Amino acid sequence: MKTYMVFDIGGTYIKYAVMNDQAKKLESGKIPTPQQGLDRFLTNITELVTKYKSLFDLEGIALSSPGAVDVNRGFIGGASAIPYIHGVGMTDLLKERTGLDVSIENDANCAALAEGWIGAAKETDYYICIVIGTGIGGSIVINQTILRGATLHGGEFGFMIMGNPPKHPLQSTWSRLASTRALIEEVEMRKSLAKGTLDGEAVFRLAEEGDPLVNECINQYYKKLAIGIYNLKYALDPKKILIGGGISKRSEVINGINQELKLLKDDISTLDIMVEACQFHNDANLIGALFHFLKLKGRVVTIF
């Protein structure tokens, strides 16, 4: 049985799994993301690979990483909460230490690829995935291939300018107006709470308890999301639009966005625009990283 070592690099933890070519986890766990720097990071990864090499016939290593990932060079550009992983040839360094082939892909792209392989976009040849969290990001996927763009910024939907602020247009990007963080900060401001008082769970709990001000904020939040999604549909016209991020687990969020999308229709704007929730959450990046490795090697299997 072919097996692969898969890592999802996060700011707090590195999740790992030994997986087969059908995305079944045979072993899994997580370790704290090292704060000491690149050498400790590489050592920790190598130690895990060495451990599982003695238990499984590993065919390679697949990485999911934050940042602007150049998949051809194995290089992580941009910025993230882990500064030391940027600006180095990550795949070459790990291949030298482990002797295994290594692939790397951006974490949001991994999540989108997982959905196209065995998730909500399975057998869909053109879809977009919008990830809503601290900001808004995402991916454009055509025939199981990420549309990366000339500067690796394809899918950076959160940079769209959505309004007309009094000072500067960049103060009204979609991320600033319609991310989960934006919703939390709006509720805190409207309720005269200190910044950092609430999180997303607390906001929706207040709504469930019938707080009229919070419900008003959430309804406006759905409108802001719907407007951005409307723009993306008419600009890109994908077959499916998937919503990811922690907030996508809430069915009322998906329903609320779809209700607002229904209102953005008239005699000229006639498209029926709907969103669906991503199927995978915690394991999405691992599954997508594995898919990326298999695709590079021409080993992708169809899973029914």
Rounded-to-integer distance, Cα 51 and Cα 294, Å: 22
Q: Which domains does the chain have, with CATH numbers?
A: 3-111+282-297 (3.30.420.40), 122-277 (3.30.420.40)
pLDDT at 304: 60
10-residue block means of pLDDT along the chain (304 residues)? 94 96 96 94 98 96 94 90 94 97 95 96 96 91 94 89 81 92 96 95 96 97 98 98 93 97 95 96 93 94 72
Rounded-to-integer distance, Cα 109 and Cα 126, Å: 14
pTM for the model stands at: 0.89
pLDDT at 92: 97
- What are the backbone dihedrals phi and psi of residue 140, each rounded to the nearest 5 degrees, phi first? -115, 125
Query: Residue with structure tokens 């992708």?
Result: 300
pLDDT at 147: 95
pLDDT at 95: 97
Which helix H or strand E contains 200, and what residues bound it? helix 200-208
pLDDT at 169: 84
Are the C-beta atoms of 61 and 103 separated by less than 8 Å?
yes
**Which of 112, 108, 95 has its CA nearest to residue 69?**
108
